[in-house]
């Protein structure tokens, strides 16, 4: 049996045209003990505090009042994992309406109710959960009561799939009995904030930038999806201890090395007045290296010697980095390797 909440599946039907058909579907679904089904006739009737938060939204046919199409966004604000189905006649408009109003799929309304129920029961198997560890767009660390930018690290500080967070691909059923699933793959993109207290690292805040995504509570904290279209799904005050083992490079007070060159990798790596490398094992900080002097030295060398890549001791990797601006867009894991190269270089000159 399938249920989003693990107990009962809450289904909400909306229609402002097919009133009798929608009532028949509601009564049919409510015959099953594991389903709670409610029917509304307009967006203004949506009251999740009274009927419960929907796991599945079904629009019975096209909606005449254009404002009622906003039900999809309203449902996803209350439950970002909700599956929204446009249950209508297959015609030239159904695919366009599915995309325009951000439904997950459409379903042929002339099929028996039993086919729709079977589809709902099997939905969990049909949802494409892309097993993504996530793409880190930007990270910060609260350390010694100061906010630092996380520049590089080894391994993965978090893996969003292990937190139970999965993006949902768009699914369309091409009419039974011919069943075909079309899935739009996506990576989970996120922004994160960590903190270190008593030498223990915590996941403090997390922002998931995907629109359609399966989101659990993290450490008892539910996501705020009120403004998910602009801001993403935001977890505030998670304060979850992590078991991370590796090294993190953090920086504060940015200063440009090469002026007016946003894509300069030196600006990204060493344009910081304060620069530290933290060592962690199983979530506990075991060491810290102050790279501020090395950062300052490289900035001075760049000012004094614009031909820095060609002096003795400069590694082939660093020469390639200097000549190719694409290195500026490398992920944090690769940037960490470059730090080790620069540290070796500074020790040799």
The answer on pLDDT for 100 being more than 60 is yes
User: Of the candidates 92, 96, 26, 97, which has an alpha carbon nearest to the alpha carbon of residue 58?
Assistant: 26
Token duo for residue 113: 């109710």
Residue 8 has pLDDT above 80, yes or no: no
Task: Output 97 or 338, whichever has higher pLDDT.
Answer: 97
**pTM of the predicted structure, to 2 decimals:** 0.59
89 vs 253: CA distance, rounded Å = 59
Mean pLDDT lowest for which of 4-18, 170-184, 235-249, 294-308? 170-184
d(CA 159, CA 259): 36
Find the DSSP H helices in 253-291. 265-270
Evaluate the omega torsion of the peptide bond into residue 95 and state whether it is cis, within 30 degrees of 0.
no
Neighbours of 90 (CB within 10 A): 15
Give residue for tokens 């039974």.
176
Two tokens at 83? 């599956």
DSSP lists the bridge partners of residue 86 as: 59, 106
Look up residue 60 and give its two tokens. Answer: 């019975």
Q: Region 19-23: what's the mean pLDDT? A: 94
Confidence class for position 126, pLDDT limits 50, 70, 90: very low
Distance (Å) of CA 96 to CA 82, 92, 103:
20, 8, 10
Structure tokens at 166: 């999965």
Both tokens of residue 204?
């403090």
- Between residues 318 and 41, the one the model is more confident about: 41
Residue pLDDT, tens place only, 316-335:
555 555 555 555 566 777 77
For residue 213, name the pLDDT band (cuts at 50, 70, 90): confident
Domains of the chain (ranges, CATH numbers): 9-126 (3.40.50.2300), 135-241 (no CATH), 246-347 (no CATH)
Residues 64-73 have pLDDT tens digits of 999 999 999 8
Minimum mean pLDDT range among 55-59, 116-120, 189-193, 253-257: 253-257
Of the ranges 69-78, 111-120, 243-252, 336-345, which one carries the lowest mean pLDDT score? 336-345
Tell me what pLDDT residue 260 has: 52
Percent of the chain at pLDDT > 90 equals 32
**Cα 42 to Cα 13, 68, 232, distances in angstroms:** 10, 6, 26
Beta bridge partners of 36: 10
Instruction: Work out the pLDDT band at 119, boundaries 50, 70, 90.
Output: confident
Listed in sequence order, the residues at least 6 apart from 233 whose beta carbon sits closer than 8 Å to its beta carbon are 80, 207, 208, 210, 213, 215, 223, 224, 225
């Amino acid at each position: 049996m399938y249920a989003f909440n693990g107990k009962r599946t809450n289904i909400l039907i909306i229609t402002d045209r097919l009133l009798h058909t929608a009532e028949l579907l509601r009564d049919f679904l409510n015959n099953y003990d594991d389903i709670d089904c409610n029917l509304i006739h307009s967006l203004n009737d949506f009251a999740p505090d009274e009927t419960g938060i929907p796991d599945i939204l079904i629009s019975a046919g096209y909606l005449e009042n254009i404002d009622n199409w906003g039900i999809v966004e309203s449902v996803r604000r209350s439950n970002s994992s909700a599956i929204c189905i446009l249950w209508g006649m297959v015609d030239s408009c159904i695919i366009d309406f599915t995309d325009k109003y951000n439904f997950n799929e459409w379903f042929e309304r002339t099929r028996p109710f039993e086919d729709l129920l079977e589809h709902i029961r099997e939905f969990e198997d049909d949802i494409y959960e892309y097993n993504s560890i996530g793409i880190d767009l930007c990270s910060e660390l609260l350390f010694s009561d100061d906010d630092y930018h996380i520049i590089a690290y080894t391994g993965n500080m978090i893996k969003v799939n292990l937190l139970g967070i999965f993006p949902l691909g768009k699914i369309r059923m091409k009419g039974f009995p011919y069943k075909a699933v079309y899935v739009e793959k996506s990576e989970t993109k996120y922004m994160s904030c960590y903190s270190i207290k008593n030498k223990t690292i915590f996941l403090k805040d997390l922002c998931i930038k995907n629109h359609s995504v399966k989101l659990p509570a993290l450490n008892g904290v539910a996501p705020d999806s009120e403004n998910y279209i602009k801001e993403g799904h935001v977890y505030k005050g998670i304060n979850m201890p992590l078991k991370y083992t590796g090294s993190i490079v953090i920086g504060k007070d940015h200063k440009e090395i090469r002026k007016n060159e946003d894509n300069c990798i030196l600006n990204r790596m060493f344009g910081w007045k304060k620069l530290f490398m933290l060592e962690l094992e199983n979530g506990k900080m075991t060491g810290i290296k102050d790279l501020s002097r090395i950062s300052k030295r490289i900035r001075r060398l760049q000012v004094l010697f614009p031909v820095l890549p060609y002096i003795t001791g400069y590694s082939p990797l660093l020469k390639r980095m200097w000549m190719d601006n694409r290195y500026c867009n490398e992920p944090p894991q690769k940037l960490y390797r470059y730090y080790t190269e620069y540290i070796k270089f500074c020790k040799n000159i």
